[in-house]
Structure 1
Amino acid sequence: MKKKGSNSISVKSKWTKTKWLLSDRNLTQYVPETKRFTRASLNEMTGRYKMVYFKPTNGTGGSGIARIVRTPSRKFRVKKDARMVEVTSVSSLYAHLLKIARGRSYLLQRGVYLQTSRGRPFDLRVTMQKTGGGKWVPTVMFVKLGKPNNVVTNYHQGGKLELIEQTLRRSGYNTAQIKQYQLKLKSLGMKTAHCFNRHSVKFKELGLDVALDRDGRLWILEVNTRPGFSALKSLGDKSLYRTIVRYGKTYGRTR
């Protein structure tokens, strides 16, 4: 664990954080199947799921992530950044992924088909922060809208931030459904914060990346222990940025 800011700690390993979520009976159902990358796990995951994500264990900002899609003819298409490669077997897929990994530790995660808004895939961000009194609060929620066909939705990878209401409305959800999702997201944020708190009370902030799939189900894709603040300035509504900074100041984080 690494200290950041005044006294809020940060955990880089996605594998460590995923294991925490999986060991919590309130959260297991929300975590897509995730395994450490090995020849055997690749065989298993690509056999079980049509789409699998290949993620660096310690990566940030969506960098280094590749998407693997199994075609009807049992070939595999691997997309990383703007580059697409097609391979014909699990062996050649494994060799290709080893080149991408360059000796770094990677994970394989079941791919979730994201809901779209005007053709753009999106996921949801719930930011949890501690008050001065040490209580967890869901402070801001927003949408990360990806570029069509992009592997990730991250702002720094060409994504765009939007307010949850407008995105969900464009996706065909009504007011009652949107309110229901907002309540579910807050509940998921609180459960996750309590899970992380059991591992260390020194966590002061968390950013949950939550997928809404095409069947309307929520999945926790990742939990960031050092969630970004600055991209919120890109929203026309500056109140979210002001809120996140206000809470951040109580534990020494100002940007």
Structure 2
Amino acid sequence: MIAAGLKLGLEMFVFTPQDVDYRQHRIHALFYNTETKTWSRKWTKFPHMIFDRCRIQRSRRFEQLKRFRSVYGHLTFLNRPLRNKWTVYRTLQKDERFRPHLPATRFYESMRDVNEMLKKYPLLYLKPINGTGGRGILRIERKSDGTLLIQGRDRNRRIIRPQRISYTVLHARLSTWNLKEQKYLVQQGIHLKLPNGRVHDYRMLVQKNGAGEWEMTGCAGRVGSRGSITSNLHGGGKAVPMRTLLLKWIGDEALADSVQQQAKELGEEIAAYLEKSYNELCELALDLAIDRQGRIWLLEVNPKPAREVFAKAGEKETYRKAIIRPLEYALWVYQENRNRKRKRRQQSNKSAFLVDDGNDSTEADANVNPER
């Protein structure tokens, strides 16, 4: 990203809140030399814009991040923090355009939530409201013989092998996960297993372009590793082109074309709507499920997406665009800020001219610097 930024005339550096000198308002930042391919540190002043890539996490580092955001919240950020999964779900649910694409979801308060959801839906996912990378997710499937098939990944992303249990021991099994303390969601599951038994979904990247408008950059398919209930690449999944996977799943070219177009429009609409709800955003990743009938389901929204899914799917041009678009958007933001400042100065000068009763128009006009 830094190498691409240089070609656009942007000087970029990397820093964490721990690198900030709050007294002298400077940063001990990391700079990358594209010629020697080495990193070095040096003190620098604050940049014109900040691209915040920090995720929500329970750690001392996150407390440092919150302090930084509170002290320097007046600076220009390309993106602001998005809310947790539950808040985002409730926000999207308010708009009738998105309701048909949202799996039924509850905030976990007691086992009653799980039991009532299991009566309605044969498949459930339990996921932490701030989790990433498939950590701490459980899958519960109601089988025809009355038993439950439970599997998932622990909080270290290790696979939990499938186990058949009865309803009577479900509560005891889930109590070890501290669902209430950790804040979990109970979500309707969508059947996404391929003929080989592996789950799959789609990762869509929607970004602001060089004109400040939301645009889908790309969408790739993801296939989970053997025995995994998620498709995350960090959990051993693999990436494939969306159309390749969609055709295998649906088997109808015309329907696949229609689904791809619908997904694009849905992704761009969701991004624009969430930005109106939660301040400035620069990019969002949408995890989508598509059922056999071609219905699109939004599984979750990720405000700090990785981009390697496109490189691993063999879509090098899409990967290149995914790198460059935030930089082109940054240039647009910078220019917009300059234009706003120029207009404010012009308005200020104009106001000074209008209240200056002590001079004639020629003298007052001469005091206005047309270059400012």
State the TM-score, normalizing by the size of structure 2: 0.62
Unaligned runs of 5+ in 2: 1-50, 54-76, 153-158, 331-372
Select 1:71's aligned residue among 133, 143, 160: 143
Select 2:97's aligned residue among 21, 26, 39: 26
User: Deviation of residue 215 (structure 1)?
Assistant: 2.8
Could you tell me which residue of structure 2 aligns to residue 199 of structure 1?
Answer: 277
User: Deviation of residue 174 (structure 1)?
Assistant: 3.7
User: Deviation of residue 149 (structure 1)?
Assistant: 4.1
Select 1:225's aligned residue among 293, 303, 308: 303
User: Deviation of residue 118 (structure 1)?
Assistant: 5.6
Select 1:4's aligned residue among 52, 55, 62: 52
Paired AA for residue 52 in structure 2: K
1:39 lines up with 2:111 in the alignment: yes
Task: Report which of the two has the higher share of helix.
Answer: 2
Paired AA for residue 84 in structure 2: S
Checking the alignment, whether the CA contact within 8 Å between 1:32 and 1:110 is kept in structure 2 is yes
Could you tell me which residue of structure 1 aligns to residue 34 of structure 2?
Answer: none
Select 1:170's aligned residue among 224, 248, 268: 248
Task: Report which of the two has the higher share of strand.
Answer: 1
Checking the alignment, whether the CA contact within 8 Å between 1:118 and 1:171 is kept in structure 2 is no
Checking the alignment, whether the CA contact within 8 Å between 1:122 and 1:146 is kept in structure 2 is yes
Higher RCO, 1 vs 2 (CA within 8 Å, ≥6 residues apart): 1
Identity across aligned pairs (percent)?
31
Paired AA for residue 209 in structure 1: D
Distance change (3 Å), C-alpha of 1:57 and 1:98: farther
Q: Could you say what secondary structure the match of 1:4 adopts? A: coil
Checking the alignment, whether the CA contact within 8 Å between 1:9 and 1:225 is kept in structure 2 is no
Q: Could you say what secondary structure the match of 2:221 adopts? A: strand
Q: Deviations over 1:135-179 (max 9, x none)?
A: 111111111112344210111111111111222233353432222
User: Deviation of residue 83 (structure 1)?
Assistant: 2.1
Paired AA for residue 176 in structure 2: K
Q: Could you say what secondary structure the match of 2:293 adopts? A: coil
What are the residue-to-residue correspondences of 1:12-161 with 2, within 5 Å? 13-37=84-108, 38-80=110-152, 81-89=159-167, 92-101=169-178, 103-114=181-192, 116=194, 119-161=197-239
Q: Could you say what secondary structure the match of 1:133 adopts? A: coil
State the TM-score, normalizing by the size of structure 1: 0.89
Q: Deviations over 1:165-204 (max 9, x none)?
A: 2222333534322221110111110221122022123111
Checking the alignment, whether the CA contact within 8 Å between 1:67 and 1:78 is kept in structure 2 is yes
Could you tell me which residue of structure 2 aligns to residue 182 of structure 1?
Answer: 260
Q: Could you say what secondary structure the match of 1:58 adopts? A: coil
User: Deviation of residue 40 (structure 1)?
Assistant: 1.7
User: Deviation of residue 12 (structure 1)?
Assistant: 5.2
User: Deviation of residue 93 (structure 1)?
Assistant: 1.4
